[in-house]
Homo-oligomer: A and B are copies of this chain.
Amino acid sequence: MPKQASITIDKRIAELLKRNSLSITDSRKKILQLFLEQTGALAHGDIEKRAGEKFDRVTVYRTLQTFVDKGIVHTIPTADNSIRYALCKDECSEGHHHDHHVHFVCSTCNNTYCLDDVVTPEIKLPKGYSAEQVEVVVEGTCKNCNR
């Protein structure tokens, strides 16, 4: 990786942590780096594998929980019951996620993507039901795998 790029990413990471009044620690930096170097979402298992050699499992759990609490990442429910995490857009903040986008799981490459431009549709519910949150997960074949 060119030196310039890694400086930029390091700054971005430090800023992100400061903005959320989190202290800057090795594990937080490392895990954020994984997200920033990546297009799609990461399963907990991936993160543990890729950060866990250097950090304790418990630290990975606590770091991800902190990030979710602060609105830095959000979770994506999937059919196979393995939580995925993805970076939030900047509008998210502590206790206030704004993730009204659709998620896509590719059944070929198994990657998960946030389709930030695809807004979750209005769902007309039966009388008596009221909605707080709508989660849409589409399974199919992604851009790369369709070629």
Binding site for B on A (CB under 8 A): 75, 77-79, 81-83, 102, 104, 107, 115, 117-118, 121, 123-143, 146-147
Contact partner, A128, options B129, B133, B142, Cβ 8 Å? B142
User: A75-B79, A79-B77, A81-B81 known; A140 and B129 CB under 8 Å?
Assistant: yes
Contacts of A130 on B, CB cut-off 8 Å? 140-141, 146
Q: A36 CB to closest chain B CB, in angstroms? A: 22
List the B residue with the shortest CB-CB distance to A134. Answer: B138
Distance, CA A83 to CA B135, complexed state (A): 15
Contacts of A139 on B, CB cut-off 8 Å? 131-135
Contacts of A135 on B, CB cut-off 8 Å? 79, 135-139
